Amino acid sequence: MIKAWFNQHVFVFFLVIKRIIVAPVTSLLSILVMGIAFSLPAGIYVLVENLQSISSQTTTTPQMSLFLQQEAVQRDIGEIKRLLEENEQVIRFQFVSKDQALLQLQQNSGLNNVMRSLGYNPLPDAFIVDTLDVNAESLDQLRTVMQAWPSVEYVQFDSAWAKRLEAILNFGQAIALMLFTLLSVAIIAVMFNTIRLQILTKQDEIEVSKLIGATDGFIRRPFLYFGAIQGLAGGIAALVIIALALQTMNTDLSVLAELYSIDLHLKHLSTTDSISLLLFATWLGWLGARLSVASHLWKIEPKY
């Protein structure tokens, strides 16, 4: 029983492949249309992913400045060091004493005489902290936590750049999702119409099959396989289009990468994303065929 079922599916699979080969131009055009449709949103997704990777290289590590209270003593400084060492979001930190800060200000600002006239050092002890996470929300939460530490007067951090970058990336992902949704509907419509035309051209064959007792499942199986195979081929075409586009862009980016001494190599879709794209493309092709068969196959009945 299982062997017969398997042999039927193998037979239908090769029958569909033969039909595609018999009409190569029509099949290639259909596959190319689906490939281009899939490559547009998938390409935007790839660019957004690469932008996230590149931004982590080109932007400086997020830094926070912890200014201590004027009356902070050595024990308070040691406590802040301990808290920073235990925090998983802190990559490294540097302690800048009030005397070091005053010396740097005198050397770099040209206000040596002014600072001396004050008679005391108004600058506080401080910690310069490099953080791991670049997410704006996470950085704001970390800032709130540090602000509550003992002897900390103020935590300075400008998260505007992180929020702007995050907003741009989210906008790109939203565009990719919108295009993916719209073009998926378009692909279903294309496959729906393609299968409809195939059903009309094979109407006589379907009538004879029903006349000799073929079930609806047996009749619709080649059409479903055709839709799934066409969808899979469209997904493969999309991956090829994206790969060629990235190769062309990487050639142009290599010059820019040398000037800035950074890695601007655009990476292709990950293995997981590529498999997901192929499975989704196959499902869309099958779905378009399934809807078309359900709408038109029942209308064809054998004429006695």
CB 187 within 8 A of CB 283: no
Q: For 12-21, 50-59, 163-172, 254-263, which range has the lowest pLDDT when averaged over its residues?
A: 50-59
List of domains in the chain? 2-57+163-299 (no CATH), 63-156 (3.30.70.3040)
Q: List the Cα angle 8/10/11 in 5-degree steps.
A: 65
pLDDT given for residue 299 in this prediction: 65
Helical residues (DSSP H) of 202-215, grouped into ranges: 203-211
Q: Which residue has the tokens 């999702």?
A: 177
Overall average pLDDT of the 46-71 stretch: 72
Highest mean pLDDT among 113-127, 137-151, 179-193, 247-261: 179-193
Strand order in the sheet with 90-96: 90-96, 126-131, 63-68, 152-156
> Please, how many CA atoms are within 13 Å of residue 131, restricted to the half-sphere of its CB?
21
| Pairing mode of beta strands 126-131, 90-96 | antiparallel
pTM here?
0.63
H-helix or E-strand spanning residue 45: helix 24-58
pLDDT range class, residue 46, cuts 50, 70, 90: confident
H-helix or E-strand spanning residue 65: strand 63-68
What are the tens digits of pLDDT across the range 93-117?
Answer: 888 887 777 777 666 655 555 555 5
Q: Which residue has the tokens 């809807």?
A: 291
